[in-house]
Structure 1
Amino acid sequence: MGKDKLRKFAEVATFKNVVQLDAGKDYKGQWASKFFGNNNPVILELACGKGEYTVNLAKLFPDKNFIGIDYKGNRIWRGAKTALEEGIDNVGFLRIQIETILEHFDENEISEIWITFPDPQPQQSREKKRLTHPRFLERYKFILKEDGILHLKTDNDGFYAYTLEQIDNLGYHKIKETTDLYNSDLVDEVLSIKTYYEKKYLAVDKNINYVQWQFNK
């Protein structure tokens, strides 16, 4: 591991807005009250990377709480540091493997989930690693409120098609969908938030896929 990554790993451990690994279990069922000190809705960004979506959503909606989840501390460092420097108090980061999400969040605790440009895990042998595989969707369904909403943004057409197939097969309710977000009438100030990777894809004219759905109508 390079010196810069080591420095970021060490620094992120000192950030008050970052919770790492098993420490997150202490907040299960109490993220709003115990971590944020309020009763506002809690929204997750999964595989948040550098946390651009988490931070920018928090700026747009100061009356909601946002948690970015990723396992790579050197990536979380960027979003967490920005939030601290700009005094954005309604954002936090949790460093865990997403497979363990049920150990950190309770039933009906979450209002909304964003999945932004995750690793598509294109190999068939890695299908169970895809963040919209049924085994993950069942976890999300448990922690989401009954009317909770999920969002996926991805440049990967294959992963997008796979996700739509899971939504249809499991009988979930699609609310919005497009295979070309920025040439659709869906784009707004929320969907126009761009991650580092999204900017790279758009620079080479890659279409951006988006779907919003609920587990219950």
Structure 2
Amino acid sequence: MRQRNKPWADDFLKENSHFVIPNPKTYKNRWNELFGNSNPIHLEIGTGKGQFLAGMAEKHPDVNFIGIELSKSVIVTAAQKLMDTGHENILMINENAENLMDIFAENEVSTIYLNFSDPWPKNRHAKRRLTYHTFLERYKNVLDPKGELIFKTDNRGLFEYSLVSFSEFGLKLVEVNLDLHQLNDPENVMTEYEEKFSAKGQVIYRCRAQFE
């Protein structure tokens, strides 16, 4: 669903530059300096309204979370929610995921989350999918060798495409789950989208993978 334009977004981002970090490329290999600790960095690509990051930051206070979101209208909504939580282990970036390697150093990130990414269903748009091989190359570069890529979606077609993409790229599939909520996994933190659609009986898929 397209987000309404928020004409105040630019002013909000300037006023809250301590939270939505401007010029993130200047912090490459220095993100822990902003957090003031050496805790592992977990990255969510595409933040939605921030519910996932809020829940993860509360559950894992010993992890530094960064949300990257391209849309200004989306990121300001998420930032408002996340700042209200008072959690000090979250920062945000208004950037395109295509620039990951300019923002993070090699092996700087411990985990990457892809939650309910745009499926881009038309074949001609495949290269825009966040599980396309060019994005996987970026993830491999910034992820710690022991780090994980964790992917959730309600879109069966995107899930099947992504499993093939992961396998062709040479990722090790640690988990492939065709009905996540049947697990009743206490570690699973739901996004707004996941909560809404799982309540309607929509199946949620999850895959955890590692680069070899």
What is the TM-score of this pair, normalised by structure 1?
0.91
Judge conservation of contact 1:49–1:72 (CA < 8 Å) in 2: no
Do residues 190 (structure 1) and 187 (structure 2) align?
Answer: yes
Task: Provide the residue aligned with 1:19 in structure 2.
Answer: 21
Judge conservation of contact 1:57–1:190 (CA < 8 Å) in 2: no
Judge conservation of contact 2:4–2:73 (CA < 8 Å) in 1: no
Could you tell which deviates more after superposition, 82-91 or 127-136? 82-91
What SS does structure 1 have at the residue aligned with 2:62?
Answer: coil
Could you tell which deviates more after superposition, 83-92 or 150-159? 83-92
**Separation of aligned partners in 2, 1:57 and 1:73:** 22
RMSD between aligned residues: 1.8
- Cα shift at 1:125: 0.4
What SS does structure 2 have at the residue aligned with 1:92?
Answer: strand
**Separation of aligned partners in 2, 1:127 and 1:208:** 21
Task: Provide the residue aligned with 1:52 in structure 2.
Answer: 51
- Cα shift at 1:138: 0.5
Do residues 130 (structure 1) and 129 (structure 2) align?
Answer: yes
Identity %: 34
Taking a change above 3 Å as real, the CA distance of residues 167 and 14 of structure 1, as seen in their structure-2 partners, is: same
Q: Which runs of 4+ in 1 moved over 3 A?
A: none
**Which amino acid is 2:199 matched to?**
A
Task: Provide the residue aligned with 1:202 in structure 2.
Answer: 198
**Separation of aligned partners in 2, 1:83 and 1:38:** 20
**Which amino acid is 1:46 matched to?**
I
- Cα shift at 1:4: 6.9
- Cα shift at 1:92: 0.6
Gaps of 5+ in 2: none
What SS does structure 1 have at the residue aligned with 2:147?
Answer: strand
- Cα shift at 1:3: 8.7
Task: Provide the residue aligned with 2:117 in structure 1.
Answer: 118
Task: Provide the residue aligned with 1:6 in structure 2.
Answer: 7
**Separation of aligned partners in 2, 1:144 and 1:83:** 24
What SS does structure 2 have at the residue aligned with 1:29?
Answer: coil
CA offsets 1:37-71 (integer angstroms, 9 cap, x no match):
11110000001122221221111111110001111
Judge conservation of contact 1:111–1:144 (CA < 8 Å) in 2: yes
Pairing 1:1-217 to 2, within 5 Å after superposition:
5-15=6-16, 16-20=18-22, 23-33=23-33, 35-183=34-182, 185=183, 187-191=184-188, 193-216=189-212
Judge conservation of contact 1:154–1:209 (CA < 8 Å) in 2: yes
**Separation of aligned partners in 2, 1:111 and 1:28:** 15
What SS does structure 1 have at the residue aligned with 2:91?
Answer: strand
- Cα shift at 1:141: 0.2
Judge conservation of contact 1:9–1:77 (CA < 8 Å) in 2: no
CA offsets 1:151-176 (integer angstroms, 9 cap, x no match):
00100000000111012222211111
